Structure 1
Amino acid sequence: MRLMDYLDKGASLGADSPCLTMGGDTRTYGEVQALSWRVARALDRSGVGPGDKVAILSANDPTAFTCVFGIARAGAVWCPVNPRNEAAENRDLLDFFDTSCLIFQAAFAPLVAKILPDLPKLTTLICLDGPAPGATAFDVWLDGLPAEPWEATPADEMVGLVGTGGTTGKPKGVMLTERNLETMSALTLMGYPFEGRPVYLALAPLTHAAGVLCFPILSLGGEVVIMPAPDLTSFLSLVEQHRVTHTFLPPTLIYMLLGHENLASTDLKSLQCFWYGAAPMSAARLEEALGKIGPVMAQLFGQSEAPMMISTMAPADHFHADGTPARERFSSAGRPAPLVHVAIMDDKGNLLPTGERGEIVVRSSLVMAGYYKNPAATEEVSRFGWHHTGDIGYLDAENYLFIVDRAKDMIITGGFNVYSAEVEQALMAHPAVQDCAVIGLPDDKWGERVTAVLQLHAGQTVTTDEIRAFVKERVGSVKTPKQVELWPDLPRSKVGKVLKTEVKSRLLP
């Protein structure tokens, strides 16, 4: 399956069915398909051919998303660019990816003008929604081209080039293939409930998880309702209005949703699957979500290098056979997906037995082709014949995967290993805590001291001693934070992850 095949499959189930909806405007499968043909022809006319890199810089938008399928039809490589990135970061990515064509919204024209002088390889600029200096207007670019089937033979299997988050140093380019996304889509359809034609609500950026989850939805002839900007009041309204069946939010937004004044009065009965992932979720908040949102919560665990579906936990897996909550699983990342081998490895390449902690490693057709123009990093991440996730975890007797930390976030205090994720789970069980970050800071006595930074719910107060006693009761004295800080908000990445490197830099002298 090539990327446009998911759209074409949906169109074969009904060209007049709703495909992409935003702000009351609905485009049918036939309309989206026709526009993607014209985009492919326009790329070809502009000299963009198989293997060339085409970037999209846009907020969530149906026309921008349609261009993804046009890029695939032209045999080119889709390079999603996060519009929330700093200008310098996007300039570096576009240059490193050898991007020759950029499709962007007029709102980002100032950013494009700023970085363009440093991008000599960028020769084709297309503005989606109006005039922009140095760019061709989208309508002019398409002028005279027929809305008839057309496609080129791709240069190879690579369909996407994705920049890794950048929170761990200089971003790398993850080369995703047709087979990677086909495996991801198959695992999605295999692992979660889909009854009837799905309606998927995309609040998160289509450049991230929200985007690739659209492909399996389209293959079933489903409708994608696109939100141009994150707004939880609109989110709840759209779930009820469109009878949404599937959606995805990162834990940070779910925490906010649980406190939303409209949640209790919103009809959520249409929901079949409410995915959460991209960061660990508090077990206490997950149980709260099962009660307030419904028995529809569904976890996924993956990374850019193995998108979305390394392990999965369907809604039913959150409960025992008798219907009681399976609380012992709430801190897990589910079970390894059917087409994925997951193991736990030590530093010497030995696979560890059940219950022992080590690095989570993966073998699957889900795993990327490698890092773009970086054979050394590719070799490092695939040593011993397995893909190395950089996460520390273990598999329990029922084969549930538990992620205890990022390898780089482990704290060694007084000779003991403390995994920050375990301490964060304990902190998140406190009713006053909305979010938190646990890091290690240099300490003359302990080597590193466990340090917790808390963001409290609005109107809540708590003392340092109360927090320390609460954590000690749950995980013991070694893992109890020796330092507790209260901040009004935590620094976050563009996708809502807490930036522990920034937390640490603020606290270091």
Structure 2
Amino acid sequence: MRMIDFFDRGVRIAGDRPCLVTDTETLTYREVDAQVRAIANMLIADGFAPGAHAAVLSGNSAIAFEAVLGILRADGVWAMANHRAGLSENAYLFDLLDIDTVFVSQEVADRVAPLRAQCPRIRRFIALDGEIEGCDYALSDLAMDTGPVPQRREGRDDELAFLANTGGTTGRSKGVMLSNGNWQALVSSLVASMPMKTAPVNCVAAPMTHAAGPLALASMALGGTVVVLPRFEPGAVLEAIERHRVTYMFLPPTAIYMLLDHPGAGNFDLSSLEYVSYAGAPMALERLKQAIRVLGPVMNASFGQTESPMCVTAMPPHEHLNADGELAHPGSCGRPNLLSIVEIMDDEGNILGPGERGEIVVRGPLVMQGYYKNPEATEEVSRFGWHHTGDIGVRDEHGWFYVVDRKKDMIISGGFNVYPAEVEDALLAHPDIAQCAVIGVPHDKWGEEVIAFVEMHAGSELDEAAVCTFMRERVGPVKTPKRISVVAALPRTNAGKISRAELRKPFWEGREAAI
């Protein structure tokens, strides 16, 4: 089955049910299906080849979801792209992933010209919402052909379905190849771990360019309604839950904290909620207890990563609390899902027993096909026949897994992955900075906060505001350090390498989890 076949199931079982809902429109499955077929026929008529790669550079919107589905309907490969990333990051990603076509929205209209210049292999730029200078055409200008769309690929399990991306410890992104089979495993694991009483009503408030987007597409296989909010605003999310009787949503812990801190949180009817999934960063235990009190016994924990997406392990709501109403497995990210085999491994490839710390490794149909055009990195992460997550964990005698440290230097801030080397590369492009190191430190709201230590060139002084402006233009606001400190000399290992571990120590001392 292809990804689009799951949407087709939703059309068959829920044709007249709302599919996409925004503040201004409600579109049924039949209406969305017609628009998706029109976009696919337009792509095919324009020379979009079977298996070609296309990206949607947009914030959350109904038309952005329709463009993604149109790419899949045309038997293309959807390449996930973050419109909030820096221009240079997007340009590198589009070149890396051999992007043929890019759909763009008005909020990134200023990027079309520089992307054309930096990515000459992009064949078409298509405006999603009105005319955009530099685009080849706009969807609104076309005569939409809503007729049948030919199937142009076989739909084998090993066919590439979508491309995600993840930064590497070298600072360069890697394209993650996810197949039809990976998508089948993802949807099956989600349904098995979160059985729905009725067709879900899924509120998408987190960026659709990350986990929230695929999870929304998965809910369409059940004929679910996707309520699309343009951005995360606590009051708007609480209002949407009450108004649309939302049953399911995904949010990183940071966003959940903001919901809980909203002064009117207790004034909304949240009784429709069945599942609130959290992942992407550790959740403070006291905040988790508060979430259960405020939102209800609906919290659903999971662990995964881009290379083995979203639900390698899960702890559904009924397993969060014991008979006394206390957290039954505090700090756990759950037990392996139905289609995942998860173990703890040492550096020699030995499987470790309960209570022993090692790297979390995974096998099963959720694991990616590999890194795009990077067999060396694929081989490295697949040692001993297991996918290596880079996270240090432990399991107990009952099979509950706990993430306790991070083997890689990756920072998770507000649910977003930040790779220090990528930020360091951008800092070193500043003419006044000689050397630098970037680390993540504990933060009550974001989970981790990105900070930087820098050595300045002789005669230079730090203008922190100017450096932050410089960084936001290159890597975007999430990856821009929130604090920059000047040091005379960065700590180094015996081999002369900068030691991020030494910089992290004073911030993480006394904590059970060193992440």
TM-score grouping bracket, smaller chain normalisation: 0.7 to 0.9
**TM-score, structure 1 as length reference:** 0.81
Could you say which residue in structure 1 is the equivalent of 2:507?
Answer: none
Q: What amino acid does structure 2 have at the position aligned with 1:300?
A: S
| Cα shift readout 1:245-267 (whole Å, capped 9, x = no counterpart) | 00111011111211111111111
State whether residues 390 and 407 of structure 1, in contact with CA within 8 Å, keep that contact through their aligned partners in structure 2. yes
Mean CA deviation greater in 225-234 or 141-150: 141-150
State whether residues 259 and 265 of structure 2, in contact with CA within 8 Å, keep that contact through their aligned partners in structure 1. yes
Structure 2 distance, partners of 1:123, 1:376, is: 29
Q: Which has the higher contact order (CA 8 A, sep 6+)?
A: 2
Could you say which residue in structure 2 is the equivalent of 1:218?
Answer: 220
Could you say which residue in structure 2 is the equivalent of 1:120?
Answer: 120
| Cα shift readout 1:223-251 (whole Å, capped 9, x = no counterpart) | 00001111111000000000000011101
1:353 paired to 2:361: no
| Cα shift readout 1:54-101 (whole Å, capped 9, x = no counterpart) | 111011011111121211121211011101000000000011111111
1:255 paired to 2:257: yes
Structure 2 distance, partners of 1:17, 1:495, is: 40
Q: CA deviation at 1:154?
A: 5.4
Structure 2 distance, partners of 1:497, 1:287, is: 30
Relative to structure 1, is the Cα distance of residues 307 and 454 closer, same or farther in structure 2, using a 3 angstrom cutoff?
A: closer
Could you say which residue in structure 2 is the equivalent of 1:134?
Answer: 134
Structure 1 distance, partners of 2:358, 2:477, is: 23
Relative to structure 1, is the Cα distance of residues 497 and 126 closer, same or farther in structure 2, using a 3 angstrom cutoff?
A: closer
Could you say which residue in structure 2 is the equivalent of 1:484?
Answer: none
Could you say which residue in structure 2 is the equivalent of 1:175?
Answer: 177
3-state SS in 2 of match to 1:408: coil
State whether residues 381 and 387 of structure 2, in contact with CA within 8 Å, keep that contact through their aligned partners in structure 1. yes
Structure 2 distance, partners of 1:129, 1:349, is: 51
Q: CA deviation at 1:149?
A: 4.2
State whether residues 112 and 125 of structure 2, in contact with CA within 8 Å, keep that contact through their aligned partners in structure 1. no
Q: CA deviation at 1:51?
A: 1.7
Q: How do 1:301-320 residues align onto structure 2 when only pairs under 5 Å count?
A: 301-320=303-322
3-state SS in 2 of match to 1:403: strand
State whether residues 40 and 151 of structure 1, in contact with CA within 8 Å, keep that contact through their aligned partners in structure 2. no
Structure 2 distance, partners of 1:10, 1:144, is: 22
RMSD: 2.9
Structure 2 distance, partners of 1:311, 1:389, is: 13
Could you say which residue in structure 1 is the equivalent of 2:404?
Answer: 404
Q: CA deviation at 1:355?
A: 0.9
Q: What amino acid does structure 1 have at the position aligned with 2:100?
A: S
Q: How do 1:101-500 residues align onto structure 2 when only pairs under 5 Å count?
A: 101-139=101-139, 142-143=142-143, 145-153=145-153, 157-165=159-167, 169-320=171-322, 322=323, 324-327=325-328, 329-409=329-409
Q: CA deviation at 1:455?
A: 5.0
Q: What amino acid does structure 1 have at the position aligned with 2:49?
A: G
Structure 2 distance, partners of 1:348, 1:246, is: 41
| Cα shift readout 1:108-135 (whole Å, capped 9, x = no counterpart) | 1211212211211111110011112231
| Cα shift readout 1:260-311 (whole Å, capped 9, x = no counterpart) | 1111111110000011111111112111111121110111111010010110
Structure 1 distance, partners of 2:313, 2:153, is: 33
Q: What amino acid does structure 1 have at the position aligned with 2:327?
A: A
State whether residues 53 and 100 of structure 1, in contact with CA within 8 Å, keep that contact through their aligned partners in structure 2. yes
Structure 2 distance, partners of 1:82, 1:108, is: 11
Structure 1 distance, partners of 2:316, 2:123, is: 45
Q: What amino acid does structure 2 have at the position aligned with 1:100?
A: D
Structure 1 distance, partners of 2:209, 2:95, is: 18
Relative to structure 1, is the Cα distance of residues 508 and 351 closer, same or farther in structure 2, using a 3 angstrom cutoff?
A: farther
Structure 2 distance, partners of 1:22, 1:7, is: 19
The runs of at least 4 consecutive aligned structure 1 residues that moved more than 4 Å come to: 165-168, 451-457, 494-499, 501-505
| Cα shift readout 1:441-500 (whole Å, capped 9, x = no counterpart) | xxxxxxxxxx9956568xxxxxxxxxxxxxxxxxxxxxxxxxxxxxxxxx99x999986x
Structure 1 distance, partners of 2:441, 2:68, is: 40
1:61 paired to 2:66: no
Q: What amino acid does structure 2 have at the position aligned with 1:219?
A: A
**Which structure 1 segments of 5+ residues have no match?**
411-419, 425-436, 440-450, 458-490
Q: How many percent of aligned residue pairs carry the same amino acid? A: 42
3-state SS in 2 of match to 1:275: strand
Structure 2 distance, partners of 1:200, 1:43, is: 29
Could you say which residue in structure 1 is the equivalent of 2:495?
Answer: none
State whether residues 51 and 154 of structure 1, in contact with CA within 8 Å, keep that contact through their aligned partners in structure 2. no
Count of aligned pairs: 438
**TM-score, structure 2 as length reference:** 0.80
Q: CA deviation at 1:325?
A: 2.0
| Cα shift readout 1:286-341 (whole Å, capped 9, x = no counterpart) | 11111121110111111010010110010001012x252234x1201111111100
Structure 2 distance, partners of 1:367, 1:353, is: 23
Q: CA deviation at 1:394?
A: 0.8
Structure 2 distance, partners of 1:251, 1:167, is: 24
Could you say which residue in structure 1 is the equivalent of 2:80?
Answer: 80
3-state SS in 2 of match to 1:172: strand
**Which structure 2 segments of 5+ residues have no match?**
421-438, 446-470, 489-515
Could you say which residue in structure 2 is the equivalent of 1:469?
Answer: none
Structure 1 distance, partners of 2:331, 2:170, is: 24
Structure 1 distance, partners of 2:297, 2:443, is: 28
State whether residues 333 and 401 of structure 1, in contact with CA within 8 Å, keep that contact through their aligned partners in structure 2. yes
Q: What amino acid does structure 2 have at the position aligned with 1:350?
A: N
Relative to structure 1, is the Cα distance of residues 316 and 504 closer, same or farther in structure 2, using a 3 angstrom cutoff?
A: same
State whether residues 286 and 330 of structure 1, in contact with CA within 8 Å, keep that contact through their aligned partners in structure 2. no
Q: CA deviation at 1:507?
A: 6.7
1:31 paired to 2:64: no
3-state SS in 2 of match to 1:153: coil
State whether residues 40 and 73 of structure 2, in contact with CA within 8 Å, keep that contact through their aligned partners in structure 1. yes
Mean CA deviation greater in 155-164 or 57-66: 155-164
3-state SS in 2 of match to 1:325: coil
Relative to structure 1, is the Cα distance of residues 84 and 390 closer, same or farther in structure 2, using a 3 angstrom cutoff?
A: same
State whether residues 112 and 134 of structure 2, in contact with CA within 8 Å, keep that contact through their aligned partners in structure 1. no
Q: CA deviation at 1:33?
A: 0.8
